[in-house]
A and B are shown apart, each in its own frame.
Chain A
Amino acid sequence: MGTANFVLFGICAFFALFGAVATVAAKRPLRGAVALLANIIALAGLYLTLSAHLLAVIQLLVYAGAVVVLFVFVIMLIGPASEVEGKSEGLAGRALSIAIMTMVTGTIAFAVSDAVGNWYAIADNPAYGTIEAVGAELYSRALVPFEIVSITLLVAIVGAIAVARHRTADEIVQAKAVHAKALEVRAEAEANKEAAAEAAAGAH
């Protein structure tokens, strides 16, 4: 691994960790979303140090371009209520969660940190991570999962619309009242128009 890669790795790893901590610790979800954006961009940089160019672009397009924007939309739609934090099970429960997760992931991180792989120079395999190589494998070895993913995305779109469109009982009553009022106003306007036409015909 060269010096440039080393520097890029250092910067990206720092921002990935910083963004992750800031996302989790954010008081306001909007700041959390921006920290998540920093984390995602840093991870795209990490993919570049690993020569996964196509995946870095997909990461930026899908996460930074779509998922974070969706989060920001929802936070802005909900407004000030989005900053409310629910009741938690107290300091002891939280401390226990943090302690257990820190121990588990710390142990895993320590155990895997001395794994050594062979770093093949990318010159040996110049197609690695390019659109051609990844695309060729995507459409040959992973063709069936690829088609299933397209169906999954379709179902997710339909499901998201079906869930988000759902109205509560109060809203249905309100909507029916508004609709009835609109019909009433329209009928009144037509009656007025007819009366005006008759009056005009009579005057003529």
Chain B
Amino acid sequence: MDITLGTFLALGAILFGIGAIGFLVRRNVLVQLMSIELMLNAVNVVLVAVNRYHPENQAGQLFAFFVIAVAAAEAAVGLAIVIGLYRLKKSVASSDADQMRH
């Protein structure tokens, strides 16, 4: 078997699916944030792979670059919110973040 563009696209889809399952099933905010990082990384794989098969320009890599920058910002703000939740509730379980529910 040979590696084609489809191999990379399928790998990206599977990685995205693993991240999405983690986000839906786990109830620990830290693990859910890590699952979001997994999904963003899976998208990056697809962007870079498609760019490699159309190498006239570097547009896919630029997109991946911006995704990495936004993911870093998202991790910083997300973890700050986790710390805020922990100070308020002494817990990082996402089922405890229910102040706006009642």
Contacts and interface: CB of A to CB of B under 8 A. Distances in A.
Contacts, number: 257
B48 A55 contact: yes
A102 B7 CA distance: 18
A117 B77 contact: no
B88 interface: yes
Interface of B: 2-11, 13-22, 24-28, 30-31, 33-35, 37-38, 41, 44-45, 48-55, 57-59, 61-62, 64-66, 68-77, 79-84, 86-88, 90-96
B55 to A, nearest CB: 5
Contact of A164 (B19, B50, B69, B84): B84
Given A43-B41, A70-B75, A101-B17, A115 B93 contact: no
A64 to B, nearest CB: 12
B11 A13 contact: yes
B6 A116 contact: yes
Interface of A: 1, 5-6, 9, 13, 16-17, 20-21, 23-24, 26, 29, 32-33, 36, 39-40, 43, 46-47, 50-52, 54-55, 58-59, 62-63, 66-67, 70-71, 74-75, 77-78, 81-88, 94, 97-98, 101-102, 104-106, 108-110, 112-120, 122, 124-125, 128-129, 133-134, 137-138, 141-142, 145, 149, 152-153, 155-157, 159-161, 163-164, 166-168, 171
Task: Name the prevailing secondary structure of the A interface residues.
Answer: helix
A114 B44 contact: no
